């Protein structure tokens, strides 16, 4: 089957993931018959079913015979031993990794691919929203739900295709971008790459994909990333807070609330005011500055782009406001790498709350083990820290690695006065109800099911309030 042919039917194995579901939606919107399977139902599965896509729960070889797809698409989590993969190979059906289908979908559109260890979901969501609010109707595929659209994927009629480029297994090398954005490069996904040097080499290859006519937009505050970009021989523009950057972010004074107001200085020396309403912190100002740089690189009207960006409502689970109860504000954040945690809590510290209370759930045993030392000081902006047990994300336990690993590192290398390991969820909720005070900010932090702690806490607090009134 040629990569340039039309596809009338496709079956997605592992369709319920953030990346896979978006691709399936876009392909469905283009008229392709899409089916899929996953081990369990989820928000994404329900969204796909509501769109009219046939999703099977469980993986069965017979499914391939029943749906008879032209091509099978697999997520990075699907092993070769999967019964549907085995059956597809027996039948000679082409099997594409997710990123290859993403590359095929982008086709002849002008693709903006956003990569980096941190910030890629928010930055790609900002760019997609900005282009859409400018009336350019982009297609987009993001690794999270874009607030205001309630989806992670959409097929637009415009010339631009915005995608979050997943570096976790190197599959982003399938893409054919016109513009690449790299927010940062750090040691992560070492189970695949082994070393930071290998990660950097792969990113260099990725940045080189833009070709001689393309542009690489990189965070100039991270010197080694900018140097890597320049080593590709491609056109490079930088953004950040440093005065040497091509697009300089000038931060305004911190205030109480989730909005950030700042200015971006363009290469011409002129400045444009920018407001982002629901994503506080310097890291999100940098993400927004990257979006402004992309607008300029694409030849768009920059003041209009800044105005459009002000309508960005956030990406789900990126400092998402969950609710308020008894004078306590509750937010939820997906960040699970030490740098992400430190940036999020640092932003929270600047918002004027009495205390920052963090509930952290480590994500993957391998990451907890390899980054234990780095996690120690990552929580320094928190007044109170409660650590849950590790969310395995499909990994087998590693002896001696648990939430205690994080607590030990914080006590040895960090500076949080009140830190404890609480593996029991019921005890965690009850303990939070006892310790919070009016004026506190409670933030649930991590990529696993810690996201359910905030709503459970709010419900428990309301039950206590009702009990006092009765």
Q: What are phi and psi of 403, to 5 degrees?
A: -60, -25
Structure tokens at 360: 């952290």
Alpha-carbon span 67 to 275, nearest angstrom: 48
Nearest to 317 by CA among 444, 406, 421, 425: 444
- Whether residue 278 contacts residue 286, with contact meaning beta carbons closer than 8 Å, is answered with no
Active-site residue flag, 164: yes
DSSP 344-413: HHHHHHTT--SEEEEEE--B-HHHHHHTHHHHGGGGTT-SEEEE---B-TTPPP-TT-SHHHHHHHHHHH
Alpha-carbon span 205 to 370, nearest angstrom: 25
Active-site residue flag, 121: yes
C-alpha pair distances (Å), 53 with each of 15, 50, 310, 347, 401: 10, 7, 34, 40, 40
Other Cβ atoms within 10 Å of 147 Cβ, number: 16
List CB contacts of 355: < 8 A, sequence separation 6 or more.
383, 384, 437, 439, 440, 441
Of 47, 84, 164, 263, catalytic = 164
Q: How far is CA 418 from the centre of its chain?
A: 29
Structure tokens at 468: 């006092």
Alpha-carbon span 239 to 220, nearest angstrom: 5
Active-site residue flag, 120: yes
- Beta bridge partners, 35, equal 11, 54
Alpha-carbon span 76 to 17, nearest angstrom: 10
Of 47, 63, 120, 444, catalytic = 120
Of 111, 117, 121, 129, catalytic = 121
- Whether residue 278 contacts residue 122, with contact meaning beta carbons closer than 8 Å, is answered with no
Catalytically active residues, by annotation: 120-121, 164
């Amino acid at each position: 089957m040629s990569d340039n042919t039309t596809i009338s039917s496709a079956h997605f194995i592992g369709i319920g993931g953030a990346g896979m579901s978006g691709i399936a939606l876009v392909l469905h919107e283009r008229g392709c018959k899409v089916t899929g399977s996953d081990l369990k139902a989820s928000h994404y599965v329900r969204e796909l079913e509501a769109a009219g896509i046939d999703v099977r729960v469980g993986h069965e070889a017979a499914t391939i015979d029943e749906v008879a797809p032209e091509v099978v698409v697999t997520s990075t989590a699907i092993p070769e031993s999967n019964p549907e993969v085995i059956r597809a190979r027996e039948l000679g059906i082409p099997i594409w990794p997710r990123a290859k289908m993403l590359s095929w979908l982008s086709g002849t559109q002008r693709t903006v691919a956003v990569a980096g260890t941190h910030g890629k979901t928010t930055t790609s969501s900002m760019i997609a929203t900005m282009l859409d609010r400018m009336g350019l109707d982009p297609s987009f595929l993001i690794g999270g739900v874009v607030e205001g659209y309630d989806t992670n994927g959409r097929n637009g009629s415009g010339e631009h295709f915005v995608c979050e480029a997943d570096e976790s297994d190197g599959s982003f090398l399938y893409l054919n971008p016109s513009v690449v954005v790299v927010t940062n490069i750090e040691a992560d996904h070492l189970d695949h790459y082994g070393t930071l040097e290998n990660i950097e080499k792969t990113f260099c290859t990725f940045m080189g994909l833009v070709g001689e006519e393309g542009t690489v937009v990189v965070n100039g505050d991270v010197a080694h990333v900018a140097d890597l970009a320049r080593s590709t021989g491609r056109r490079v523009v930088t953004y950040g807070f440093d005065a040497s950057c091509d697009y300089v972010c000038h931060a305004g004074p911190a205030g109480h609330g989730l909005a950030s107001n700042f200015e971006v200085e363009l290469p011409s020396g002129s400045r444009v005011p920018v407001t982002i309403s629901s994503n506080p912190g310097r890291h999100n100002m940098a993400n927004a500055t990257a979006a402004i740089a992309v607008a300029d690189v694409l030849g768009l009207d920059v003041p209009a782009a800044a105005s459009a960006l002000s309508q960005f409502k956030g990406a789900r689970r990126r400092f998402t406001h969950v609710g308020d109860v008894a004078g306590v504000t509750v937010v939820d954040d997906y960040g699970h790498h030490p740098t992400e945690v430190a940036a999020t809590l640092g932003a929270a510290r600047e918002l004027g709350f009495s205390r920052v209370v963090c509930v952290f759930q480590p994500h993957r045993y391998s990451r907890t083990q390899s980054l234990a030392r780095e996690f120690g000081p990552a929580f320094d902006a928190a007044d109170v820290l409660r650590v849950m047990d590790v969310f395995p994300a499909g990994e087998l336990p590693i002896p001696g690695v648990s939430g205690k690993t994080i607590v030990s590192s914080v006590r040895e290398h960090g500076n949080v006065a009140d830190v404890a390991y609480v593996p029991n969820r019921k005890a965690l909720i009850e303990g939070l109800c006892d310790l919070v005070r009016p004026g506190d900010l409670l933030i649930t932090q991590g990529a696993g099911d810690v996201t359910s702690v905030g709503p459970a806490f709010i419900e428990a607090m309301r039950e206590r309030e009702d009990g006092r009134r009765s």
